[in-house]
Amino acid sequence: MSQIQYTNRAKPVDRRPLNFIERLYLWNVFIGMFITLKHFFKKKATVQYPEQVREVGTAYRGLHILNRDEEGRERCTACGLCAVACPAEAITMEAAERLEGEEHLYREEKYAAKYEINMLRCIFCGLCEEACPKDAIYLSHTFTPTNYHRKGLIYTKEDLLIPNPKTQPEEYAKAKGLIEEKKKK
Amino acid sequence: MNIYLLAIDWWFIIEKLVLIALIVTLCLIIAMYETYGERKVAAFIQDRIGPNRAGPFGILQPLADGGKLFFKEEIIPLASSKYLFVLGPTLAMITALLTSAVIPWGTSLEIGDRNVPLQVADVNIGVLYIFAVVSVGVYGIMIGAWSSNNKFSLLSGLRAASQMISYELAMGLALIAVLMMSGSLQMSVIVNKQMSGALGGLGSWNIWYQPLGFLVFFTCALAECNRTPFDLPEAESELNFGYHQEYSSMKLGFYLFAEYINMFMSCILMATLFFGGYDIPFVNESNLAAHIGQNWVALLSFICLLAKAFFLVFVFMWIRWTVPRFRFDQLMHLGWKKLIPLALVNMIITAALILWLKS
């Protein structure tokens, strides 16, 4: 009896009638129980999440970070390219003009007065990161934000901004480590 | 006559009451931790870890589950028959606990000058009593299923009844061979018979003389406890949990609890009937008692019985997470056409051998 082989992967189904031992069923149950017993002593695949975190790849796309330059000024100029690129329409922003005396806060003459990302809509595709001409937005390795309210998952500019390297150097270095690691790819 | 009636041995009543309370508590605690064990075994077989958040290694998980069940809303469906709806889980729980009455849990204790047997009632029809109580147990499921007024529940009740009746036959026939060997229905006699053999009793365990009988009995015990591969009454994928579909809160908890108590009791029963009961293998109990005292031997023998039962419980769980469910016709085929003839043959061979050896 020849079976037609359509692919080289398919294992033809064994349609021979059961022999005596197989019809007894008991022996096959013992074989099955031996297999499950082997699994009983195997190393478990579980990662104990809050305590252990699975290592993510360098290309991993997690929560967004709004970047600052070396002097702690916001890089974002509210050009809106990220919002245009976003397929999920998760980004909202309002632009404002930099006033006299705010040069230490914003890098260019225009800045984002309001910058919101709705994390419920975001699909973490990273197109905003690719669209940004000012190196202002990055996707970090942080993941699974949780909240009890929908409102809490709309991240404002304060939530997204990286710590200021001048006033909070330690926190900045910590956040920066992730970004630099990501840039290396 | 009146004088005899008045002369009540109060110590006897107190000791029995304490024993009953202890055994019922033990059964409930073990049933609780069986749920934990089941989840752990399932997880380990599936390469997972299982519950490990509540307390160290998750050992408080059953308490959390029980607490959750207590605080769930109690729903009695409008179309159900109310008294029967409450009676169902009650009956299931009562019959599950009643079986523990005739089990000998260990050698007797010595308290003061009294000899306290670790058995609530050493009736001379012990095995028969267990079978009677287990048969009533099916009413718990049937009444619950019928009074739910739900077609899935009713179907599952029908399945449970037919399954229990068919497998009780083979179970009883397999047991007759054991009873012929021990010559008594009394549980203490059956255990004592198994304690006298070689290797401190190990040589006279019934399992060596009745392997086929044990196999049939074990299979039927799986079916009696509604455990996979015979869990047709509560087949999740076909009947939406079957007979306890309409139940919520602690009434559901009672059904689940009763199932686990039944499992523990049938494992204890199998340990008693086939694995020497509370016999400590490789040890002569009376010699040991002379060395370390009667009470310590009682404790050791009790632990020994529990160890045997826990191993069998583990096998129950192991089978559950290995073998898929039977189809209903396969179940009936196995019960009536395979197990009953097998048990009959086993019985006849045993009878013939006993006659031959005696003459």
**Domain range annotation of chain B:** 72-358
Cβ distance B173 to B341 under 8 Å? no
Q: Name which of B47, B321, B323 is nearest A44 (Cβ-Cβ).
A: B47
Q: How far is CA B323 from CA B48, B162, B200, B318, B320, in A?
A: 18, 21, 36, 9, 6
Indicate whether B117 pLDDT > 90.
Answer: no
**φ, ψ of residue A111 in degrees (nearest 5):** -145, 170
CB contact under 8 A, A46 and B46: no
Closest residue in B to A28 (Cα) is B323
For the segment B23-51, the average pLDDT, to the nearest whole number, is: 90
Q: In 3D, which of A34, A130, A29, A160 has the Cα closest to residue B230? A: A29
SS3 per residue for chain A: CCCCCCCCCCCCCCCCCCCHHHHHCHHHHHHHHHHHHHHHCCCCCCCCCCCCCCCCCCCCCCCEEECECCCCCECCCCCCHHHHHCCCCCEEEEEEECCCCCCCCECCCEEEEEEEEECCCCCCCCHHHHHCCCCCEEECCCCCCCCCCCHHHEECHHHHECCCCCCCHHHHHHHHHHHHHHHCC
Q: Does A7 touch chain B (CB under 8 A)?
A: no
Residues of A in contact with B45 (CB under 8 A): 36, 39-40
Q: Name which of B41, B44, B318 is nearest A33 (Cβ-Cβ).
A: B318
Q: What is the pLDDT of residues B292-325, one digit of tens each?
A: 888 888 888 889 899 999 999 999 999 988 988 8
Chain A residues 26-45 within an 8 A CB cutoff of chain B: 26, 29, 32-33, 35-37, 39-40, 42-45
pLDDT of residue B164: 87
Q: What is the pLDDT of residues B179-194, one digit of tens each?
A: 888 888 888 888 888 8
Rounded CA gap, B311 and B300, in Å? 16
CB contact under 8 A, A42 and B47: yes
pLDDT of residue B78: 84
pLDDT of residue B2: 54
Q: In 3D, which of B181, B307, B173, B160 has the Cα closest to residue B239? A: B160
Query: What are the domain boundaries of chain A?
Result: 64-183
pLDDT of residue A183: 47
pLDDT of residue B225: 85
What count of other Cβ atoms lies within 10 Å of the Cβ of residue B173? Answer: 22
The CA distance from A36 to the nearest CA of chain B, in Å, is 6
For the segment B127-149, the average pLDDT, to the nearest whole number, is: 87
The CA distance from A31 to the nearest CA of chain B, in Å, is 10
The CA distance from B192 to the nearest CA of chain A, in Å, is 32
The CA distance from A22 to the nearest CA of chain B, in Å, is 15
Indicate whether B280 pLDDT > 90.
Answer: no
Closest residue in B to A26 (Cα) is B215
* CA angle B107–B108–B113, rounded 5-degree value: 155
CB contact under 8 A, B321 and A36: yes
Q: In 3D, which of B39, B3, B73, B9 has the Cα closest to residue B256? A: B39
Indicate whether B281 pLDDT > 90.
Answer: no
Mutation for testing the A interface, residue in B38, B40, B45, B327 having most A CBs under 10 Å: B45
Q: What is the pLDDT of residues B192-210, one digit of tens each?
A: 888 877 777 777 888 888 8
Q: How far is CA B80 from CA B84, B287, B351, in A?
A: 8, 60, 50
Q: Name which of B45, B215, B323 is nearest A39 (Cβ-Cβ).
A: B45
Size of interface A-B (CB pairs under 8 A): 35
Residues of B in contact with A49 (CB under 8 A): none
Indicate whether B348 pLDDT > 90.
Answer: yes
Residues of A in contact with B319 (CB under 8 A): 29, 33
pLDDT of residue B136: 87
A88-102, B111-125, B334-348: lowest mean pLDDT where? B111-125
Long-range contacts of the stretch B164-167 (C-beta < 8 A, 24+) = B164/B135, B164/B137, B164/B138, B164/B223, B164/B224, B165/B138, B166/B331, B166/B332, B166/B335, B166/B336, B167/B219, B167/B220, B167/B223, B167/B224, B167/B230, B167/B335, B167/B339
Residues of B in contact with A36 (CB under 8 A): 45, 318, 321-322
Q: How far is CA A1 from CA A10, A14, A15, A17, in A?
A: 17, 12, 11, 14
DSSP B105: -
Distance of alpha carbon A78 from the chain centroid: 24
Q: What is the pLDDT of residues B1-28, one digit of tens each?
A: 455 656 677 788 888 898 899 999 998 8
Q: What percent of chain B has pLDDT over 90?
A: 16
Rounded CA gap, B144 and B140, in Å? 6
Q: Which regions in chain A score pLDDT beneath 50?
A: 1, 182-185
DSSP H or E segment with residue B111: strand B109-111
Mutation for testing the B interface, residue in A43, A44, A47 having most B CBs under 10 Å: A44
The CA distance from A146 to the nearest CA of chain B, in Å, is 19
The CA distance from B202 to the nearest CA of chain A, in Å, is 25
* Tokens (6 digits) for B325: 């469910």
pTM value surpassing 0.90: no
Is domain A64-183 classified as CATH 3.30.70.3270? yes
Q: How far is CA B328 from CA B39, B138, B142, B228, B232, in A?
A: 26, 18, 17, 13, 7
CB contact under 8 A, A46 and B321: no
User: What is residue B4's three-state secondary structure?
Assistant: helix
